[in-house]
Amino acid sequence: MKSVKTRKSPRRNRRVFGRLLLLIIAAIFLVFAGRFAYIAATGHIAGVDLTKRSQKKYKADSVIRAQRGTIYDSLGNVLAQDINAYSVYAVLSHDYVGPNKKPLYVTDKKKTAKVLSRYLPLSEEKIYKQLTPANRSVYQVEFGSAGQNLSLSIKRKIEKEHLTGIYFNESPTRLYPNGTFASHVIGIAQSPKDEDGADQSLVGVMGIEKYFNKQLAGQDGYKNFARDSYGYTINQKKNKVKAAKNGQDIYLTLDSRLQSYMETLLTSVNKKYKPKSMNAVLMNAKTGEILAASQRPTFNASTKKGIGKIWRDTLVEDGYEPGSVLKIATLAAAIDSGNYNPNQYYQSGSIRVGDKKISDWQTSGWGMIPLSQAFARSSNVGMVKLEQAMGPKVWKDYIQKFGFLKPTGIQLPGETEGTLQYVRPLDQATTSFGQGINVNVMQMLQMTSAIANDGTMIKPQILSGINQDHQVKPIKAGKPIKASTAKSVLQNMEDVVYQDYGTGQVYQIPDYKVAVKTGTAQITGPDGGYLTGASNYIFSVSGIAPADDPKYILYITMKQPQNMTDSAESILAQVFNPMMKRALEYTKKAEKDTQQQVTVPSVIGQSTDEAQKKLTDLGLQTASVGSGNLVVQQLPKANSVILPKQRVILMTNGAMTMPDVTGWSKNDLLKLAQLTGVEIDIKGSGYAYHQSLAVNGLLDGVKKIKVQLK
């Protein structure tokens, strides 16, 4: 019996196991059936709406990008432009096929190379080499800088060739053709990434690009369409299209000729004396138009080189103690309030206020001198005497009348309003010579404008207009002083330059009468006290010219020069004198010879000879990059408004070759860099006379070219 039971046990075990397996399979089936029933009923799985996912597969929203508005200077020169760039790429993988296994990859590489060489600055051989990589598993290839930043016109021409496997990526790109050029004022626009890593529309993150982002950006449109399982668009009446609304153009008051010269002067001084920072602004004294404005450190807006050094626009975002230039306001307030007796003598050198001693910059003083000399000598003691004669209430009223402690309202983001330390008699006394009060650069220009305009302050303006409406009208910011007061202060500013005891004799400009006030402001240290040492100051100069008929105000500051081999006045004069002289001579020339502007036509797609003749007939210079016979790109772009004799650079098809840049300006070289994607290292100032790459040398594979100016 025992042996019988043993023989039956395996059979019984198999039956039990079989039933158990059936139960498990049935349970799994029920789970899946329940899951499918749930999905079918709700249309959701793992929190994903399958209906929407399915619709997304067969329907798509295509964003129609709005073109960002262009930023121009006062003459119509392009400062920032949306170039609607496209980059071309080629799919090589044979896995990329359409319905019925239709090839969507490059099928005829020789033909593709030959056709693309007509539109790209690459030789046929170079393109073919890229289309036949050693690694055959490569899915797709691109064509470097030569295949980037293509215009819409070139993209369409390539598309008309119906090349299999050739596709395009669109990316919002901003062109800043002048490089280092009022970079913090104009600002930059960047493309944030969406959740899939794709570029979104450009957004202004600094300067004018940020302040007027809404106007510049416009409004994107969209195209809602259906597509089949292969991704092809299905024509349906339900497709919806909303056109994009392009951004508005912004015109600034900047004058490119004056701005370029200011950049050159600042770069030279910055390189030689190495200050921690510098600011310079040239303003039209009558209208408040900012004609040139820059700072150091700065950056190249085209290459973004140096952008990490400082993001702030120090012309409006930084508050600082202005030092002795504020004595313009002190003297004006004392004269206007009837508390100035020029013939009153006082003991210079030092004065005690409370338990503190205030000293002149020449600590021994000049003995007993009249108040009429206090301003020209930049005597702190003389200014304290004037503040005490006015009293704290009257002096503070004038501080506010001159527009301090509130923003000027210039159209730049982040303007600081400034601060005032004015509790103790010592505080009140030190403000008379520019300590204990924080200001910004635009407030100082606005204050000085009252002296140039018979007592009426003019608001600084950087915006000339939006779209076609760009005519600047002066905006009055108050009348803090009488006309007679302004004339008296202006005479005192002349004394600074032309009296033998004046601190600004170095600012004399032959053939022009100049009125100036110099400044040396102490800098607060980390412990709350003022720094010591010969260079630990903010040195400044504010000038008006011509003094007998004010047209310009030029204000320059320089903080802590690290290589102070010359006096502060001599250093600042290396910017002030040539800059002011250039502006004055420019005005004189403009009054005699009004230049006509030229609108650049489109020559893309035309033969090189035809394009050159067309541009030359308009009084423009031309230069060609490459040896081809067809123009594929141009800078400045079509419809740009420029001055006669400016250079238009034409990129031709075929191999990209180096032109002869002899006599080219810095701006021309920056345009060349933008077109070719090759970095150009520019040394010196003036015009090009030497290039490291020979004329007609191939640019393919070249990363940097050195060009010397003189």
- Token pair of 257 as six digits: 């000729």
Cis ω before 370 (30° cut-off from 0) = no
Helices (H), 289-391: 314-317, 327-336, 374-377, 380-390
Cα 369 → chain centroid: 49
Q: What whole-number distance in Å separates Cα of residue 181 and Cα of residue 298? A: 9
Q: What whole-number distance in Å separates Cα of residue 391 and Cα of residue 69? A: 52
- HSE, CB side, 13 Å, CA atoms: give it for residue 618: 23
Q: For residue 138, what are the CA distances in angstroms to 90, 307, 637?
A: 11, 36, 36
Per-residue HEC secondary structure of 458-469 comes to: ECCECEEEECCE
Strand partners, 647: 621
What is the SS3 assignment for 335? Answer: helix
Place of tokens 């329907």: 59
Q: What whole-number distance in Å separates Cα of residue 155 and Cα of residue 476? A: 50
CA atoms 456, 514, 264, 569: torsion sign:
negative
Q: What whole-number distance in Å separates Cα of residue 704 and Cα of residue 194? A: 33
What is the SS3 assignment for 221? Answer: strand
DSSP string over 236-258: -TT-EEE--BPPPPEEES--HHH
Which residues have a catalytic role annotated?
Answer: 324
- Token pair of 387 as six digits: 């503040």
Would strands 515-522 and 537-545 be described as parallel, antiparallel, or unpaired? Answer: antiparallel
Spell out where 361-405 has E strands: 368-370
List of residues 6+ apart from 448 with CB closer than 8 A: 328, 542, 544, 553, 555
Q: Which amino acid is at 30?
A: L
Strand partners, 515: 544
Q: What whole-number distance in Å separates Cα of residue 595 and Cα of residue 456? A: 32
